[in-house]
């Protein structure tokens, strides 16, 4: 397989047509080596438009979803980012190139260890992987400029919104199959939030986030 050609095709045929047009994001996708974050058994799938299994019931999001989230997060060099759902560490690597600091939480100890190794090999020193349950634990380094959930939730928990700085934003994929929406929540003041849902997709669930009751009275 010609890796550089496959990477080019991923960007031009999957990512750009999905309205990812930010030149910085496209450049990052060409230089951060996605194949180095993919398990050995699935290396050949590194640039395919699909979720890649990581084991432990978890997977990497499809490249176009990762790219669109990264573009919509619009992370700036001075910003501090919290990611929930490290997986292989690829999204943390992309975020680290744009942010001052990234703290990324992975619930599975083996995946957390692998992600640390992947980030180290990629020469990334401003992203820290912590084994923690992002649905329950509050990081002492907060509040954050950006919180990104690398997976879906039924609803955005208020415990995460309280960890956002005023002027900060949270990105998540919210809803239930077959319809989920990319959701951007911006904190406009201590008490006010603004929500937009610019595009639809489907993503695997993050563990332990509450699912609201479906009963209607």
Per residue in 85-144, pLDDT (tens digit) is 999 999 999 999 999 999 999 999 999 999 999 999 999 999 999 999 999 989 999 999
Would you state the pLDDT for residue 214? Answer: 60
Contact by Cβ (8 Å): 89, 32: no
Does the residue 134 lie in any domain? Answer: yes
Cα torsion 203, 175, 87, 98 to 10°: value is: 100
Does the residue 38 lie in any domain? Answer: yes
Three-class secondary structure of residue 23 per DSSP:
helix
Model confidence pLDDT, tens digit, residues 151-164: 999 999 999 999 99
Does the residue 212 lie in any domain? Answer: no
- The CATH number linked to 27 is 3.40.50.150
Does the residue 210 lie in any domain? Answer: no
Residue 14 to residue 68: CA distance in whole angstroms = 11
Do the bridges between strand 164-176 and strand 179-187 make them parallel or antiparallel, or are there none, so unpaired? antiparallel
| Number of domains, the chain | 1
For the cut 90, the answer to whether the pLDDT of residue 213 exceeds it is: no
Both tokens of residue 125?
């020193």
Both tokens of residue 114?
């692998």
Would you state the pLDDT for residue 217? Answer: 47
For the cut 90, the answer to whether the pLDDT of residue 188 exceeds it is: yes
Model confidence pLDDT, tens digit, residues 194-211: 999 999 999 999 999 988
Model confidence pLDDT, tens digit, residues 9-57: 999 999 999 999 999 999 999 999 999 999 999 999 999 999 999 988 8
Contact by Cβ (8 Å): 52, 59: yes
Which domain covers residue 45, as residue numbers?
3-201
């Amino acid at each position: 397989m010609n890796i550089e050609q496959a990477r080019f095709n991923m960007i031009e045929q999957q990512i750009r047509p999905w309205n990812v047009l930010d030149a910085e994001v496209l450049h990052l996708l060409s230089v951060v080596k996605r194949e180095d974050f993919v398990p050995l058994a699935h290396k050949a799938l590194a640039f395919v438009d699909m979720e890649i299994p990581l084991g432990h019931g978890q997977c990497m999001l499809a490249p176009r979803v990762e790219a669109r989230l990264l573009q919509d997060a619009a992370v700036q060099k001075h910003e501090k980012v919290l990611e929930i759902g490290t997986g292989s560490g690829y999204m943390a690597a992309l975020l680290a190139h744009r942010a001052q600091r990234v703290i990324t939480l992975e619930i599975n100890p083996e995946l957390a260890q692998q992600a640390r190794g992947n980030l180290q090999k990629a020469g990334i020193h401003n992203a820290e992987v912590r084994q923690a349950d992002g649905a329950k634990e509050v990081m002492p380094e907060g509040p954050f400029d950006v919180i990104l959930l690398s997976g879906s939730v039924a609803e955005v928990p208020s415990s995460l919104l309280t960890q956002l700085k005023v002027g900060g934003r949270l990105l998540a994929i919210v809803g239930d199959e077959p319809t989920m929406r990319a959701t951007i929540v911006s904190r406009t003041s201590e008490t006010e939030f603004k929500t937009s849902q610019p595009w639809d997709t489907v993503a695997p669930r993050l563990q332990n986030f509450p699912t609201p009751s479906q009963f209607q009275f």
